[in-house]
Structure 1
Amino acid sequence: MAEKRVMKRLYYKPSHPGSFGGVERLHKAVQDETGKKVRVEDVKDFLSSQDTYTLHKPARVHFPRNRVFVTRPLKQFQADLCDMRALADENDGYSYLLTVIDVFSKLAYVRALRKKTAAEVVSAFESVFRESKTPEKLQTDAGREFFNKSFKILMRKHNIVHFATASDLKACVVERFNRTLKTRMWRYFTAKNTRRYVEVLPDLVKSYNNTYHSSIKMRPVDVTKENTRRVFHNLYGTPTPRDKSKQKLKVGFKVGDVVRISKLRGVFDKKYEQSFTDEVFTVSECIPRTPMVFKLKDFDGEVIEGSFYEQELQK
């Protein structure tokens, strides 16, 4: 195909305006060169066959994900450790805050820790569970402070399903609470001209739990078994026809397709560096959620842990 030869020549010629760019730029360059109309799909097909393009295509981070519905209080907690070492000298050596929040009611619990050892973290959780009762599930990041023998024993003791978020995205509910708590703490610091928080921390948490929360449209302390249905409606509303129609969107991959996986990037990773893995995988299953997710297997036929959104894959 003559157009394909032109595409290859222009794409790999550093001095040409259409070189090493994206679909639009190469499409325009080929049409200008040949004087003919060229299909955009043909340009996309050519680029998808070139490693220099697919490996460095920008990986999308922000896109719609499967919505997780939590149906009642004590169904799922999220927890995190806030690093407060910069203020340890003013706070009797306390260097971390364990923050725990009920995803449904938004009720929060905080414990100050001197170290983030397994023993201290387990002790802090036992204290939280005495105050709150135990949840069915607990979501944390994959840090060692949450994944160790002692913590596993604690989870088994209370019959809690513990899991980590298998992506670069954090547990957003507890992250949002952390920001709220820290904002209140730093305002207190400014008002009192101090950096000491250990005595006032319980009051700040109590204040948060007694403050109207916009997502549940009430105070976290007011969420009860009796008003669960109202809270659920305030949180999630009622699925609309538009929500349901998302299932009919065109799916980008099918079983048997060979794909690369987006590399997980930190906030400061350079966007021009390689965005997708060198290793290729095969789509083994298309799971009909909203949006669709995919299971993969490697060259040896081993199924890869977790599932992947279309935006995390690249042909």
Structure 2
Amino acid sequence: MALTEEQRGYLESIWTNVKHTAAFSGPYKLYQIVKKEGKHKIGLKGIREFLSDLEPYSLQKRVQRKFPRRHILTDSIDTIWDGDLQDVRNISKDNEGVQYILVLQDIFSRYLFTAPLKQKTATKMIEALKTIFASGRKPEVLRTDKGKEFKNRWVASFLKDEDVHQIFTENETKSNFAERSIQNLENRLHRMFTHNQSYEFLSKLQSVTDNINNTPSRPLGGITPASVTKKNVEEVRYSAYLQRNKKKSAVSKKLRNTKKDRKKPFKFKLNDKVRISHLRRLFQREYDQKWTGEIFKVTGRYRSQGLPVYKLKDFAGEPILGTFYAQELQKVRTDDNSIWKIDKILQERKRKGTVEVLVSWHQWPAKFNSWIKKSDVKEV
């Protein structure tokens, strides 16, 4: 049941009153306070809907970081590599000016490749890639984030000449395999720093990398990444992937027998209006906002590996790259009576006797700048 104007007015009066205990609280706390005061009978669902309409709440709503995601599937060695940079600028003086370490990992075998970089430029990136490819291995596909060191025409041209297809991640987790490898590498280096009482790693980087590659890997069922070759790919796939998945299925079978194996329902409908979590890093972030000020529309939805995912477009009808999990979206409600905040009045003109102003909208891209009647601009 929709909230009445009286109920909305009551909720707004206590939520925005800094002297009231309900001021700027979350849905459950607000629900408890409303229930305790007893002036209106409003359920938790109504409270949530009320708060979702308020920009100060929806922009700061807590973001869920951990949730099931789709797996990256690869069936052989050197099919897909993950790549990222480890930042070591804080100890560059101890390592001949090296500021970054290029970290690449073969997703199937978990084999790690590293190369030092003095600068985060296309030229230095190509040099590092050449060093790694000179080992005799290179991927069919290289997956990285959208950093300029990876996404530029020079690196793209080099990889094309090497017959390596380049793809970029569109979501928050970015190059998650390489990021985990960076954490592993970082842990080993810092232990070494403490033991040696020195921050020098350049002369030992390859040895540390080799040690990681010769350490039994839990995802591989105890096999070391270095022991995975094209000759034993089938054996590794069976023991490390198929057998492990079979065990997981056996463990969860009882749960499926006691609970209906239902597909996770879709949370959003087509044409729903949503904000996007800033964890996606696709858009400029203002202050400490957790969600975009700009609003988008749901244009498609489907299941991938059993998980609901969504396609979006902006208010100009342009599709947004990538797919989104429900946890990365927040539904908002707007209509013709909604108030839209103006950032600046850019120009003024008079057309057919009507004064119009060109405005930029608060937290919306410049492409949405538009002419409106000056009489429609209100002080709030």
Fold similarity call, TM over 0.5: yes
Between the aligned partners of 1:194 and 1:6, the Cα distance in structure 2 is 63
The change in CA–CA distance for 1:7 and 1:175 in structure 2 (over 3 A counts) is: same
- Counterpart in the other structure of 2:325: 309
Q: 1:133 Cα deviation (Å)?
A: 2.3
Q: TM-score, normalised by structure 2?
A: 0.72
The alpha-carbon deviation at position 101 of structure 1 amounts to 1.1
Distance 2:8 2:119 in 1: 61
1:112–1:36 distance in 2 versus 1, CA, 3 Å? closer
Residues of 1 paired with 2:38 and 2:302: CA distance? 43
Quote the Cα distance in structure 1 between the aligned partners of 2:260 and 2:318: 34
1:140 aligns with 2:144: yes
Alignment partner of 1:233 is 2:242: yes
How far did 1:265 drift? 8.1
What are structure 2's unaligned runs of at least 5 residues?
Answer: 332-380
Q: Output the CA distance in 2 between the equivalents of 1:161 and 1:299.
A: 32
Deviation sequence 1:226-252 (CA, Å, 0-9, x none):
322222236655555669978622322
Deviations 1:160-196 (A, max 9, x none): 2212222343422222222322333333344444443
Greater share of strand: 2
Tell whether the 8 Å contact from 1:85 to 1:96 is kept in structure 2 after alignment: yes
* Secondary structure at 2:233 match in 1: coil
Moved over 6 A (4+): 242-247
Alignment partner for residue 285 of structure 1, among 290, 293, 300?
Answer: 300
Looking at structure 1, the residues matched to 307 and 286 of structure 2 have their Cα atoms a distance apart, in angstroms, of: 25
Residues 6 and 173 of structure 1: is their aligned pair in 2 closer, same or farther, counting only changes over 3 Å? same
| Partner deviation per Cα, 1:241-271 (whole Å, 9 max, x = no partner) | 66997862232210011112222389xxx99
Count of matched residue positions in the alignment of Structure 1 and Structure 2:
312
Q: Which moved more, 1:205-214 or 1:65-74?
A: 65-74
Relative to 1, partners in 2 of residues 1:23 and 1:86: Cα closer, same or farther, differing over 3 Å? Answer: closer
Residue aligning to 2:272: 257
> In 2, are the aligned partners of 1:247 and 1:291 still within 8 Å (CA)?
no
Offset at residue 9 of structure 1 (A): 3.2
Residues 109 and 272 (structure 1 numbering): CA distance in 2 closer, same or farther, change over 3 Å? closer
Note the aligned Cα RMSD (angstroms): 3.0
* Structure-2 change in CA distance of 1:48 and 1:230 (3 Å): same
How do residues 1-315 of structure 1 correspond to structure 2 at under 5 angstroms?
1=4, 2-34=6-38, 37-216=41-220, 217-223=222-228, 224-227=232-235, 228-233=237-242, 236=245, 239=249, 240=252, 248-264=263-279, 273-289=288-304, 290-315=306-331
Amino acid across the alignment from 1:229: Y
Structure 1 pair 39–199 and aligned structure 2 pair: CA distance change class (3 A)? closer
Q: Which runs of 5+ in 1 are unaligned?
A: none
Q: Does the C-alpha gap of structure 1 residues 186 and 299 become closer, same or farther in structure 2, counting only changes over 3 Å?
A: closer
State the partner residue of 2:342. none
- Partner of 2:31, secondary structure, is helix
Moved more, 289-298 or 164-173: 164-173
Residue pair 1:294, 1:307 contacting (<8 A) in 2 also: yes
Q: Percent identity?
A: 30
CA contact (8 A) 1:98 1:113 kept: yes
The answer (yes or no) to whether the contact 1:6–1:30 under 8 Å persists in 2 is: no
Structure 1 residues 179 and 300, CA, compared in 2 at 3 Å: closer, same or farther?
closer
Which structure would you say has the larger Rg?
A: 2
8 Å contact from structure 1 (residues 12, 19) kept in 2: yes
Contact (CA 8 Å) 2:34, 2:42: kept in 1 or not? yes
State whether residues 77 and 103 of structure 1, in contact with CA within 8 Å, keep that contact through their aligned partners in structure 2.
yes
Paired with 1:229 and 1:117, the residues of 2 have a C-alpha distance of 41
How many angstroms apart in 1 are the aligned matches of 2:195 and 2:295?
56
Q: Distance in 1 between matches of 2:25 and 2:162?
A: 55
Which range is displaced more, 80-89 or 140-149? 80-89
Pair 1:52–1:95, CA change in 2 (3 A): closer
Secondary structure of the equivalent of 2:292? coil
Quote the Cα distance in structure 2 between the aligned partners of 1:180 and 1:257: 41
Q: Deviations over 1:130-183 (max 9, x none)?
A: 324221211222222212222101221123221222234342222222232233
- Structure 1 length normalisation: TM-score? 0.86
* Matched letter for residue 232 of structure 1: Y
For residues 78 and 243 of structure 2, what CA distance do their matches in structure 1 show? 17
